[in-house]
Structure 1
Amino acid sequence: MNLFSDLRGTVIAALDQMTAEGLLPEGLDFANVAVEPPRDPLHGDMATNAAMVLAKPAQKKPRDIAEALADKLRADDRITEADVAGPGFLNMRLSPAVWQGVVGTVLTQGRDFGRSDMGQGQKINVEYVSANPTGPLHVGHTRGAVFGDALASLLDYSGHTVTREYYINDGGAQVDVLARSVYLRYLEAHGQEVAFEDGTYPGDYLIPVGEALKDKVGDAYVDQGEEVWLAEVRDYATEAMMELIRADLGLLGVQMDHFYSEKSLYGTGRIEAAIQDLDAKGLIYRGTLEPPKGKKPEDWEPREQTLFKSTAHGDDVDRPIKKSDGSWTYFAPDIAYHYDKISRGFDGLIDVFGADHGGYVKRMKAAVSALSDGKTPLDIKLTQLVKLYKNGAPFKMSKRAGTFVTLRDVVDQVGPDVTRFVMLTRKNDAPLDFDFDKVLEQSRENPVFYVQYANARVHSVLRKARDAGMAPEAGAPSRADLAKLDHAAELAVAKKLAEWPRLVEIAARTHEPHRVAFYLYELAGEFHTLWNRGNDLPELRFLQEGDRDTSLAKIALARAVSVVISAGLGILGVTPVEEMR
């Protein structure tokens, strides 16, 4: 049940009636008519922009439309007030029975309250993490993993069919560097002194890989040239790193549906097929690019290249797909990979990239637009950097990784639930400060604690209710007289609960799972306010001695809060707690 959508339907019906009565001209488009919470709660429970968006096409004053619309809406039993404000905004107040009914609906629908069929089963591919298989995941990957996983869950919750995918970048030169690094650890396992040079990876995480390679092949590769061992060590090392990465993701509860190897694109004709598709559309040509911005003419050597005409699909410049030696650029396999996604029949694609991929957005969108003839949308979400602090100072580097703080470092410090929630307390494209001390504080300033504490308080109420013989069965709908929830603080909680289905749809439509975390903090705030007011006003306490009916109504409200908090945390991949320790 989306109360805002229901009320919008009521507004549209009233506008249709006004049209039939000649108060509005025929043929008006109501698509931009919205019903939403007013900016100032003092103005009412809901507001509609109908008069403002229809005034110009109707050639009428917005206030005149609003007054006529208000008269129609006042006939609805749910609407106790409909007042025109300013030039033509229409504010509405709803009867307490509407908000009391929301509580009953939450308990009847349970975790399905807020689910929708907005996605209509559309197949969406969400690609995230996709880190180079050269080492453990670092804190930047952690944010991308949490964001992508929460977004996938959010889309699933809103009626989409979601595939979680990891693109293994195992086709480039970095895997050769990995193989050479493992080979050094292999020699080290044989007692040799080694030096990590030429960009090889010095992290301790490769020590067990080198030792395992020794156990597998003995001394077969010792003092041998690369032509003997490079190919086999590359495959061995890549798989070892992917096992490490899967384990790291498992620490966060991230499970991929599909791992796709970049290497599988080479020598199989897949890259050639994608480029031929673009060529058939007249988008591949031989040409010379202008020098990059910031380059002086003497630093630039113009040369003819094979180019993709990405400017035909919104890019700033055309992009090379072949190097001067005839080999593919790094962009070519990415084109082929997305061509494969399109061929798999996805209705929409989402890529989650790190902040350093900002310059890659337009060219990738251009490629997908060209390959799909504009039919398959691609949304690219960039996750900004995470700055780690401990005791007020930047967190030191990880010796195990050699150069960075790992995902495992973070989870070991604070646990997966705190890690996931905190990573979603900022919009994905905003920098995030992660303070190991603050995220474990038990205060309102710590959103993880604040939300979990609200859920724990609900379960405290339920334990006391069980002791008093008043607790309903878990998951059972309420049979309480919800009309007894008549205090403004109680109705404020119910009103916030009513926003959940609308919030889910907005967050899913905008691909912004952080909105769920923000909402849960606000819902927890309303609940804590009600709880704290009970300290001063005994009639607001959840258990009313000698008044079973009122107690059951208040218990129902608390249960509804827990249902929605649990659903929201489920989307974020966080386990709700029933008791704070």
Structure 2
Amino acid sequence: MNLFSDIRALVLDALAQMQQAGELPAGLDTAAVTVEPPRDPAHGDMATNAAMVLAKPAAKKPREIADLLAARLAQDPRITSAEVAGPGFLNLRLAPAEWQGVLRAALTKGADYGRSTLGAGRKINVEFVSANPTGPMHVGHTRGAVFGDALAALLDFAGHDVTREYYINDGGAQVDVLARSAYERYREANGLEPEIREGLYPGDYLIPVGEALKAKYGGSLLDKPEADWLDEIREFATAAMMDMIREDLALLNVRMDVFSSEKALYGTGRIEAAIDRLRQAGLIYEGVLEPPKGKTPEDWEPREQTLFRSTAHGDDVDRPVMKSDGSWTYFAPDIAYHWDKIDRGFDELIDVFGADHGGYVKRMTAAVKALSNGRVALDVKLIQLVKLFKNGEPFKMSKRAGTFVTLRDVVEQAGADVTRFHMLTRKNDAALDFDFDKVLEQSKDNPVWYVQYASARVNSVLGKARDMGVDVTDAALARADLSRLNHPAELDLARKVAEWPRIVEIAARANEPHRIAFFLYDIASDLHSLWNRGNDELSLRFLQEGDTDSTAAKIALVRSVGVVISAGLGILGVTPAKEMR
């Protein structure tokens, strides 16, 4: 049930009647008509912009349309008042039974309340993390992993067919560096002094890899030239790093559906085929690029390269796909990889990149548009940096990683639930401060704790009501006399429950899971506020001694809030708290 969609349908039906009656011209496009909460709750329960957006195409004044629309809507029993405000906005107030009906729907549908058919089964690929397989995941990967996983869950909840995918960057020079670094740890395992020279990975995490190499090869590789062991140790070390990355992801309860390898694209003809597809479309040519920004012609050595005409699809400049020496650029296998995703039948692609990949957005978007003839959309989400603090000071680097704070460091200190929720308290493209002291404090200023406290409070109230003899099963609460919920504060909380399906769709359309975290904080605040008011107004207390009917109605309200909080935390990948410790 989405009450906002229901009332919008009512508005559209009234507009259709007005067209039939000649009050509006026929054939008006009503796609831009919205029904949403007014900015000021004092103005009403819902507001529609219908008169404002239809005035120009209808060649009428907004207030004229609003007055006619208000008269029709006021005839519906669901609407208690329809008032025109300002230049033509229409504020609506709904009968209390509508809000009470929302609670019944939440209790009846349970975990499925708020689920949407918005996605209509469209196939979406969400590629996220995709860290180089050269070491443990760091805190930046942590935010990307949480964001990508929550976004995938949100889209699934909104009716899409979602695939979570990890692209293993195992085709570049970094995996050769990994192999050489692992070889030094292999030498160390054999009693030799490792030579961790500049450019190699210094972290202790490679010590177990060196020991595993010794267990497999003994000392047989010690005196061999690099050419004899590089490929084998590269494959061995890459597999070990991917095992470590999977373990790191599991700490955050992130599990991928698909792992795709960049290396697997080489030697298979997939890169050549992707580039040839672009060539057939007239988008590959031999040319010379202008000097990059900041470079003068004197500092720039022009050379002919194989270029993708990405400017034909919105990019700023054309992009090289092959170097002058005949080898592929980094961009070429990425083109082939995205073509592979298109070939797998996805309707939409989402890439979650670090902020340092901002320059990659336009070229990748252009490539996907060209490869799919505009059928498949690509949305690139950039993840901004995370700054870690503890005891008022920047959190220091991890010795195990060598150069950075690892995902494991963060989760071991804060916990998976706290880490996940806090990583979603800012929009993905905004910088985020992660203060270990603040994310663990028990106060209203800590949204993680405040929402979990609301979840625990719901559970506690249900237990006390059960002890009073109230049947607190969802089925029984759905049958309660909800007309007893008539106090404005109770109806306000019911209105918040009604917003949940709308918030899901808004967040899913924008690919913004942080909206879920914001909403959960708001509804938790409203629940706590109603609880506190009960300290002064006895009639607002959730448990009414000697009045099981009123108690059942109030518990139905509380449990409906719990349904929403549980569903929202599920999208965020956070386990609802049953009690606070």
Q: In structure 1, list runs of 5 or more residues that go unmatched.
A: none
Distance in 1 between the 2:477 and 2:541 partners? 21
Q: Is the 1:108–1:476 Cα contact (8 Å) retained in structure 2?
A: no
TM-score after normalising by structure 2: 0.99
Indicate if the aligned counterparts of 2:471 and 2:477 stay in contact, CA closer than 8 A. Answer: no
Residue aligning to 2:4: 4
The residue aligned with 1:184 is 184
Q: Secondary structure at the match of 1:106?
A: helix
Question: What RMSD, in angstroms, separates the aligned Cα atoms of the two structures?
Answer: 0.8
Summarize the alignment of residues 141-152 of structure 1 with structure 2, pairs less than 5 Å apart: 141-152=141-152
Deviations 1:236-281 (A, max 9, x none): 0000000000000000000100000000000010000000000000
2:347 is matched by which residue type in structure 1?
Answer: D
Corresponding residue for residue 308 of structure 1: 308
- Aligned residues of 1:179 and 1:237 also touching (Cα < 8 A): yes
- Secondary structure (helix, strand or coil) at the match of 2:322 reads coil
Secondary structure at the aligned position of 2:81 is classed as: strand
Displacement of 1:538 after TM fit? 1.1
Given that 1:37 and 1:45 are in contact with CA atoms closer than 8 Å, whether structure 2 keeps it comes out as: yes
Aligned letter for 2:269? Answer: G
Deviation at 1:472, TM superposition (A): 2.1
Q: CA deviation at 1:194?
A: 2.0
Structure 2 equivalent of residue 195 of structure 1: 195
Q: CA deviation at 1:232?
A: 0.2
1:265 corresponds in structure 2 to: 265
Bigger Cα displacement from structure 2, 188-197 vs 278-287: 188-197
Structural mapping, 1:36-51, within 5 Å: 36-51=36-51
Contact 2:535 2:541 (8 Å CA) reproduced = yes
In structure 2, how many angstroms separate the alpha carbons of the residues matched to 1:477 and 1:456?
A: 19
The 5 Å alignment of 1:98-113 reads: 98-113=98-113
Kept in 1: contact 2:477–2:553 (CA 8 A): no
Give the match's secondary structure for 2:464: helix
Alignment map for 1:358-373 (pairs within 5 Å) = 358-373=358-373
- SS, match of residue 162 in structure 2: strand
In the alignment, the residues of structure 1 paired with residue 287 and residue 559 of structure 2 have an alpha-carbon distance, to the nearest angstrom, of: 66
- Structure 1 residue 512: deviation in Å? 0.3
- The answer to whether the aligner puts 1:331 opposite 2:325 as a matched pair is no
The answer for the alignment partner of 2:21 in structure 1 is 21
Equivalent AA in structure 2 for residue 165 of structure 1: E
Instruction: Find the aligned partners of 1:475 and 1:14 in 2 and give their Cα distance.
Output: 35
* CA deviation profile, 1:37-61 (whole Å, cap 9, x unmatched): 1111111110000000000111100
Match in the other structure for 2:93: 93
Moved more, 28-37 or 466-475: 466-475
The question of whether the paired residues in 1 share the 8 Å contact of 2:477 and 2:555 is answered with no
* 1:388-443 deviation digits (Å, cap 9, x = unpaired): 00011100000000000000000000100000000000000000000000000110
Q: Take 1:263 and 1:144, find their aligned partners in 2: how far apart are those partners?
A: 23
Equivalent pair of 2:99/2:498 in contact (CA under 8 Å): yes
Distance in structure 2 (CA, Å) of the matches to 1:376 and 1:200:
40
- Report the CA distance between 1:488 and its aligned residue: 1.2
**What's the CA shift string for 1:151-206, capped at 9, x where partnerless?**
00011111110110000000000000000000000001111112211410000100
2:333 and 2:475 mapped to 1: Cα distance? 50
Q: Distance in 2 between matches of 1:477 and 1:485?
A: 13
**1:300 alignment partner AA:** W
For 1:218, the equivalent position in structure 2 comes to 218
Q: Which residue in the other structure is 1:30 paired with?
A: 30
- In structure 2, the partner of 1:353 is 353
SS in 2 for 1:289: coil
- Residue 172, structure 1, aligned to residue 172, structure 2: yes
Aligned to 1:468: 468
Does 1:519 find its partner at 2:532?
Answer: no
Residue in structure 1 matched with residue 291 of structure 2 by the alignment: 291
Write the distance in 2 (CA, Å) between the matches of 1:81 and 1:220. Answer: 86
Cα pair distance change 1:301/1:247, threshold 3 Å: same
| Structure 1 CA distance for aligned equivalents of residues 381 and 425 of structure 2 | 16
Inter-partner Cα distance in structure 1 for 2:466 and 2:61: 59
Aligned to 1:401: 401
Q: Deviations over 1:312-353 (max 9, x none)?
A: 000000000011110000000000000100011111100000
Q: Which amino acid aligns with 1:203?
A: G
Q: Which moved more, 1:243-252 or 1:115-124?
A: 115-124
Residue 209 of structure 1 corresponds to 209
Contact 2:477–2:552 (8 Å) recurs in 1: no
The 3-state SS of whatever aligns with 1:120 is coil
C-alpha deviation, 1:477, in angstroms: 5.0
Shift of 1:476: 5.3
Q: CA offset at residue 474 of structure 1?
A: 5.7
Alpha-carbon separation, structure 1, partners of 2:419 and 2:299: 46
Q: SS where residue 134 of structure 2 aligns?
A: coil
Aligned residues: 581
Detail structure 1 runs of 4+ shifted over 3 Å in the superposition: 474-477
Q: Which amino acid aligns with 2:338?
A: H
Shift in Å, 1:471 = 3.5
User: Quick check: 1:110–1:475 contact (8 Å CA) kept in 2?
Assistant: no
Amino acid across the alignment from 2:486 = D
Partner of 1:154: 154
In 2: Cα distance, 1:565 partner to 1:84 partner: 35
Matches within 5 A, 1:489-528: 489-528=489-528
SS in 1 for 2:398: coil
Hey, what's the Cα distance between the residues in 1 that align with 2:197 and 2:81? 75
Please say if residues 129 and 352 of structure 1, whose CA atoms lie closer than 8 Å, have aligned partners that are also in contact: yes
**Deviation for aligned residue 1:295:** 1.0
Q: Deviations over 1:524-562 (max 9, x none)?
A: 011000000011111111110111100000011111111
Could you tell me whether the CA contact under 8 Å between 1:108 and 1:477 is conserved in 2? no
Matched with 1:556 is: 556
8 Å CA contact 1:462–1:471 kept in 2: the answer is no
**Helix, strand or coil: the match of 1:22?**
coil
Q: Percent identity among equivalent residues?
A: 73
Write out per-residue CA displacement over residues 337-391 of structure 1, whole angstroms, 9 at most, x where no aligned residue.
0010001111110000000000000000000000000000000000100000001
Per the TM alignment, residue 475 of structure 1 is displaced from its structure 2 partner at its CA by 6.2
Q: Is the 8 A contact 1:289 1:302 kept in 2?
A: yes
User: Are 1:107 and 1:476, in contact at CA under 8 Å, matched by a contact in 2?
Assistant: no
Cα deviations by residue, 1:452-503 (Å, 9 ceiling, x for unpaired): 0001011111111121111423665522100001111111110000000000
Please give the secondary structure, in 1, of the residue aligned with 2:28: coil
Q: Distance in 2 between matches of 1:270 and 1:45?
A: 56
Quick one: distance in 1 between partners of 2:502 and 2:470?
A: 32
Q: Does 1:545 align with 2:549?
A: no
Q: In 2, Cα distance between the equivalents of 1:548 and 1:394?
A: 54
**What corresponds to 1:488 in structure 2?**
488
What is the alpha-carbon distance in structure 2 between the residues aligned to residue 53 and residue 310 of structure 1?
A: 37
Cα distance in 2, alignment partners of residues 369 and 478 from structure 1: 49
Query: Deviation digits for residues 13-71 of structure 1, max 9, x if unmatched?
Result: 11111111111011111111110111111111100000000001111000000001000
Q: Distance between the aligned counterparts of 1:563 and 1:26, measured in 2?
A: 43
- Matches of 1:48 and 1:24, distance apart in 2: 17
- Amino acid in the other structure paired with 1:433: D
TM alignment of 1:239-250, pairs within 5 A: 239-250=239-250
Q: What letter matches 2:108 in structure 1?
A: T
**Does the residue aligned with 2:478 lie in a helix, a strand or coil?**
coil
Question: What does residue 577 of structure 2 align with?
Answer: 577
Distance in 2, Cα, partners of 1:22 & 1:8: 21
Structure 2 letter corresponding to 1:295: K
1:555 counterpart letter in structure 2? I
Q: TM-score, normalised by structure 1?
A: 0.99
Match of 2:435 in 1: 435
Corresponding residue for 1:81?
81
* Equivalent residues of 1:181, 1:201 under 8 A apart: yes
What SS does structure 2 have at the residue aligned with 1:336?
helix
Supply the AA of the counterpart residue of 2:523.
L
The separation in 2 between residues aligned to 1:43 and 1:90, in whole angstroms, is 10
SS of 1:129's partner is coil
Counterpart of 2:488, as a letter, is A
What one-letter code is carried by the residue in structure 2 that aligns with 1:298?
E
The residue that corresponds to 1:322 in the other structure is 322
Query: In 2, distance between residues paired with 1:216 and 1:299?
Result: 51
Code of the residue aligned with 2:310 in structure 1: it is S
Does the 8 Å CA contact 2:52/2:89 hold for their aligned counterparts?
A: yes
Partners of 1:142 and 1:315 lie apart in 2 by: 30
> Contact between 1:180 and 1:200, CA under 8 Å: does it hold in 2?
yes
Secondary structure, in 3 states, of the residue corresponding to 1:437? Answer: helix
In 1, Cα distance between equivalents of 2:299 and 2:133: 34
Partner of 2:254: 254
Deviation, 1:299, is: 1.4
